[in-house]
């Protein structure tokens, strides 16, 4: 696979070709995912649960994401690295700029930020200064206390309309990508068609431009109950490499996510 850039992802959207994203927190897994042709690796704040055994992403620090971004960057060749801005790391424009700079210098090529309306100025400031930003909409795990749990977002018309409006404003502010978590498939389809930037989905149905999963979830390593949108790609696979290859093929062919993984 040639080096993945923002242009690669924009061309995929324009051509109607799906791309893939999986989480990575270390060099070994990053290398494996890169070899299997995963276009984007997410150094997600899910590392709080997956790597650190914590009960939410709220406890993850800038030092944590910076450290794991450095680890991942040593394992990849062609894949694009996207790193999460952790809880409150963008609570002011100055903090957003300073913290995003730390992640870019650690090896990130794009930063992801869980965004509500108040983040528009920070997105604009980062974009104007050359930091590529992906805005995470829908279910925002960092705000789980306010949302009252990990629930599907945008179910009523008012919420859905507001989310599409916010997506448009984030694009206008300079966001180069969106990530949509746990929203009804119809809303995800409409939002993906409305914006011209690529949209990655998780629990958002089959019509987003790309799909992301936590790698440990799709390899069936995560203990406990799985979210509805998770498929166990180890089932029938001969190795971890084979399971990741099956995820890539299933996303590209449109076979995953199926209706049973969607809301």
Q: Residues with catalytic annotation?
A: 181
Name the burial class of residue 145, with classes exposed (0-12), middle (13-18) and buried (19+) by CB atoms within 10 angstroms of its CB: exposed
Radius of gyration for the alpha carbons in the chain, expressed in angstroms and rounded: 17
CB of residue 136 vs ligand KIV: minimum separation in angstroms? 6
> How far apart are the C-alpha atoms of 205 and 253, rounded to whole Å?
14
Is there binding between residue 44 and ligand KIV (CB under 6 A)? yes
Interatomic CA distance for residues 43 and 24, integer angstroms = 5
List 214, 219, 248, 250, residue binding ligand KIV (CB under 6 A)? 214
In order of 52, 73, 94, 100, the CA distances from 41 in angstroms are 19, 10, 26, 17
- The answer to the question of residue 72 lying near ligand KIV (CB under 6 A) is no
Beta pairing, strands 177-181 & 133-138: parallel
Count residues near ligand KIV (CB under 6 A).
11
**Binding segment for ligand KIV among 7-15, 38-46, 63-71, 152-160 (CB under 6 A)?**
38-46
CB 45 within 8 A of CB 57: yes
Q: Strand, coil or helix: what is 28?
A: helix
- Minimum distance from residue 25 beta carbon to ligand KIV (Å): 9
Q: Is 22 in the site for ligand KIV (CB under 6 A)?
A: no
Work out which of 212, 230, 243, 248 binds ligand KIV, going by CB under 6 A.
Answer: 212
- Name the segment binding ligand KIV (CB under 6 A); options: 43-51, 103-111, 190-198, 218-226: 43-51
Using the rule CB under 6 A, give the single segment among 44-52, 101-109, 123-131, 156-164 that binds ligand KIV. 44-52
b/e sequence 46-68, b meaning 16+ C-beta within 10 Å: bbbbbeeeeebbbebebebbbeb
42 lines the binding site for ligand KIV (CB under 6 A): yes
Instruction: Answer whether 48's CB lies under 8 Å from 57's CB.
Output: yes
Q: Can you tell me which of 20, 23, 211, 215 binds ligand KIV, judged by CB under 6 A?
A: 23
Contacts of residue 257, Cβ cutoff 8 Å, sequence gap at least 6: 201, 205, 206, 211, 229, 231
Which residues have CB under 8 Å from 27's CB, separation 6+? 71, 72, 74, 75
Which residue's beta carbon is nearest to the bound ligand KIV? 44
198 contributes a contact to ligand KIV by CB under 6 A: no
Per CB under 6 A, the segment of 39-47, 69-77, 87-95, 148-156 that binds ligand KIV is 39-47
Nearer to ligand KIV, 44 or 174 (CB): 44
Name the minimum Å distance from CB 20 to ligand KIV: 13
Q: Please give the residue ranges that form the binding site for ligand KIV (CB under 6 A).
A: 23, 42, 44-46, 84, 179, 181, 202, 212, 214
């Amino acid at each position: 696979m040639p080096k993945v850039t923002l242009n690669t992802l924009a061309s995929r959207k324009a051509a109607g070709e799906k791309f893939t994203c999986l989480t990575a927190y270390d060099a070994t897994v990053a290398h494996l995912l890169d070899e299997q042709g995963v276009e984007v690796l997410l150094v997600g704040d899910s590392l709080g649960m997956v790597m650190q055994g914590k009960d939410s992403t709220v406890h993850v620090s800038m030092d944590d994401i910076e450290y794991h971004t450095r680890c991942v960057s040593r394992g990849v060749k062609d894949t694009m690295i996207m790193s999460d801005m952790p809880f409150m790391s963008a609570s002011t424009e100055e903090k957003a700029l300073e913290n995003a700079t730390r992640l870019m210098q650690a090896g990130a090529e794009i930063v992801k930020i869980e965004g509500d309306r108040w983040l528009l100025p920070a997105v604009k400031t980062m974009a104007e200064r050359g930091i590529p930003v992906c805005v995470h909409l829908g279910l925002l795990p960092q705000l789980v206390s306010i949302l009252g749990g990990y629930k599907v977002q945008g179910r009523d018309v008012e919420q859905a309309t507001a989310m599409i409006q916010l997506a448009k404003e984030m694009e206008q502010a300079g966001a180069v990508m969106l990530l949509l978590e746990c929203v009804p498939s119809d809303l995800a389809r409409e939002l993906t068609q409305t914006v011209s930037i690529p949209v990655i989905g998780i629990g958002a149905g089959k019509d987003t431009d790309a799909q992301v999963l936590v790698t440990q979830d799709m390899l069936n390593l995560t203990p406990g109950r799985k979210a509805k949108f998770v498929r166990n790609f180890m089932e029938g696979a001969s190795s971890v490499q084979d399971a990741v290859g099956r995820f890539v093929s299933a996303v590209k062919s449109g076979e995953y996510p199926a209706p049973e993984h969607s809301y």
